[in-house]
Amino acid sequence: MNFIAFQDAFQERDVIPVNDILKRFPDFDTRRLVEWQEKGYLQKIINKFYSWTNRPISEDRLFFTANRLCHNSYISLWSALRWYGFIPEGVYQVFSVTTKQTHNFDTPLGYFHYQHVKPDLFFGYRPIGTSQREFLLAEPEKALLDTLYLNPALRDSLDIDGLRLNMDIIAEACTPDTLTLYAQAYQNKRVEKLTSLIIQHLANG
């Protein structure tokens, strides 16, 4: 198969898994992928996942890619906090939560970090984006609580202050009832305490 046929089949795709190539072209010779990389047509993201070279990198593309590189994951933690405007700092990695083991991918597109949670905590996310780039993103409340839970060094009001959370934006995006309900699911007294502190901040304006 020549490159033109391959391009016609996958040009709309940001992430091209080898399995999808073989489903579409069962006789495909994977040595072509090496050849097309050398010519600068494609780049390997990680083993068995490819993308187009020189395609613009955007936040939604990175989030979409993160979902595709690890099934059973959704965007959360610092990436989701930044997406919602809850923190002022830029985030230069893509943070996700997964039921799989904690792991990382250092790729030509960027650094992807996946943090393990038990299946009981794999909830509170929703699809965001377009039909071409739809990805799973933590709900505002869940992004906050994942961050509290997966950063055990956060223990008191001083630590909450250190996060430099934009409480005005959080008050618009989150409800105290949902924060309380979700916090109970973690069955973690530290998370419940920190959630109560955040709710107090929101109540005090």
Looking at the fold, whether 112 and 141 belong to one and the same domain comes out as yes
Half-sphere exposure (Cβ direction) of 60: Cα atoms closer than 13 Å:
8
**Same structural domain for residues 118 and 200?**
yes
| Cα distances (angstroms) measured from residue 130 to each of 61, 64, 135 | 11, 10, 9
Q: Is the pLDDT of residue 123 over 70?
A: yes
8 with 99, same domain?
no
Phi, psi of 35 (to 5 degrees): -60, -45
Position 137 pLDDT exceeds 90: yes
pTM of the complete model: 0.94
pLDDT score at 204: 82
Indicate if 17 and 45 belong to the same structural domain: yes
Number of structural domains found in the chain:
2
Q: What is the pLDDT of residues 142-164, one digit of tens each?
A: 999 999 999 999 999 999 999 99
Which one has a higher pLDDT value, 129 or 24? 24
Those residues with Cβ within 8 angstroms of residue 124's Cβ, 6 or more apart along the chain or in another chain? 138, 139, 141, 142, 145, 182
Co-location of 46 and 123 in the same domain: no
> What integer pLDDT is reported at residue 91 of this predicted model?
87
Neighbour count for residue 1 (Cβ, 10 Å): 13
Q: Are residues 149 and 123 in the same domain?
A: yes
- Same domain, yes or no, for 36 and 64? no
Do 73 and 14 belong together in one domain? no
Q: Are residues 187 and 132 both part of a single domain?
A: yes
On whether both 96 and 187 belong to a single domain, the answer is yes
CATH for 174: 3.30.460
Percent of the chain beyond pLDDT 90? 91
User: Are both 71 and 153 inside the same structural domain?
Assistant: yes
Band (pLDDT 50/70/90 cuts) for residue 129 is confident
pLDDT tens digits for 39-48?
A: 999 999 999 9
For residue range 74-103, list pLDDT tens digits in order: 999 999 999 999 999 888 999 999 999 999
Beta strands per DSSP E along 82-123: 94-98, 103-106, 111-116
Position 32 scores a pLDDT of 96
Q: Let me know whether 124 and 177 are in one domain.
A: yes
What amino acid is encoded at 204 in this protein?
N
- Report the sign of the C-alpha dihedral through residues 78, 82, 84, 86, in that order: positive
User: How is residue 154 written in tokens?
Assistant: 């956060």
Last residue of a domain, one of 52, 76, 91: 52
Buried/exposed 6-26: b ≥16 CB within 10 Å, e otherwise: beeebeeebbbeeeebeeeee
Distance from first CA to last CA of the chain, Å, rounded?
Answer: 63
Which range marks the domain in which residue 198 is found?
59-204
User: Domain boundary residue among 33, 52, 71?
Assistant: 52
**Statement: residue 205 has pLDDT above 70:** no
What pLDDT is recorded for position 187? 97
pLDDT for position 22: 96
